[in-house]
Amino acid sequence: MAERVPLYRSWPMWLIIGATLAFLYMPLVPALLLSVRGEGAEEITWRWFYELWHISLVVKALRTTAMIALLVGLIAPLLGLLAALSIRELRLPRLILLIMLLPLFIPGVSMGLACAFLFRLLDMPPSLLTITIVQVLWALPFATLIILTVMATVDPIYLEAAYLSGASRWRAFRDIELPLIAPGVFGAASFSVIISVNETVRTSVVQGPWNTIPTYIWSTYKQVGLSPALYALMTLVILSTVALAGFYLLLNRPKQQPRKIAEITQASEA
């Protein structure tokens, strides 16, 4: 067993880690502090959070964001699962993977404008559907990669045992593989929700009169600038993103796969 490096010798590594975390998260601190700042410099108030619920545009944007995030969280993992199975089962897996990852390499504005032009050709007015389509296109590559990673950890011996027991491919997938990769599928769903909640550029091109929370924050900032209520809304978005990220990590924590082949074969024979 390798010996642990003493703390006094590993301090440069921890210093680099601390500096990196500070670089990443220090820009969020002013918004968090200003969202609870009262009239005085040392006064703390929750007034701005309370006032958010009296702004009709914010309430409507919150409902729109929640509805679209739910749809993206349902659609993207299902399509990602199908894509991951196609990459594993069909020929030319690299080509399929490249096609699935292509939206990652296209600038957000270009993707949004291309989708808006296509919707215009199809005579589709801006709606929740157009926003959902654009956000699913953006979340799908991440969902596919997450599910592919989880599928790679499944021991093939379980599927082989199911095949030897007479199970079809569909039965082996449903009874054996799907329960093993379920945490990854739920993790892909939570990550898709995170992407949906924070997506701005692509959504702003196809949203029309429908505002999400990120597009409302951006448009308000461009029109009237920053305000305490806007800081409070930004804080809610940051905290919700952290909560969703924690949920994603919880779902994808390392787990030991079951080792009883008899139980697996029994499940496939049932």
pLDDT in tens, the chain (270 residues): 455 656 556 777 888 888 898 888 888 888 888 888 776 667 788 888 888 888 888 899 999 999 999 999 999 999 999 999 999 888 888 898 898 898 889 888 999 999 999 999 999 998 999 999 999 999 999 999 999 999 888 888 887 888 888 878 888 888 888 888 888 899 899 899 999 998 999 999 998 888 899 999 898 888 888 888 888 888 888 888 888 788 777 766 655 554 444 454 455 455
Q: Nearest 5°: phi and psi at 68?
A: -70, -40
Residue 136's pLDDT is 95
pLDDT digits (tens, 9 = 90+) for 116-171: 999 999 999 989 999 999 999 999 999 999 999 998 888 888 878 888 888 788 88
Quote the CA–CA distance of 187 and 250 in Å, as a whole number: 9
Residue 53: burial class (beta carbons within 10 Å; 0-12, 13-18, 19+): exposed
Give the pLDDT of residue 40. Answer: 64
pLDDT of residue 49: 85
Q: What is the pLDDT of residue 269?
A: 52
Of 217, 192, 218, the closest CA to residue 132 belongs to: 192
- Are the CB atoms for 189 and 76 separated by under 8 Å? yes
∠ CA 130-133-138, nearest 5°, is 130
Q: Exposed, middle or buried, 99 (CB in 10 Å: 0-12/13-18/19+)?
A: middle
Q: What pLDDT is stored for residue 259 in this prediction?
A: 47
Q: Please enumerate in sequence order all residues whose Cβ is within 8 A of that of 56, keeping only pairs 6 or more positions apart, or say none.
A: none
Name all domains of the chain by residue range, CATH numbers in brackets: 53-269 (1.10.3720.10)
The pLDDT of residue 184: 87
Sign of the torsion angle spanned by Cα atoms 39, 43, 48, 51: negative
Q: Is the pTM of this model over 0.75?
A: yes
In percent, the amount of the chain with pLDDT more than 70 equals: 87
User: Which residue in 146, 151, 152, 157 sits closest to 258, CA to CA?
Assistant: 157
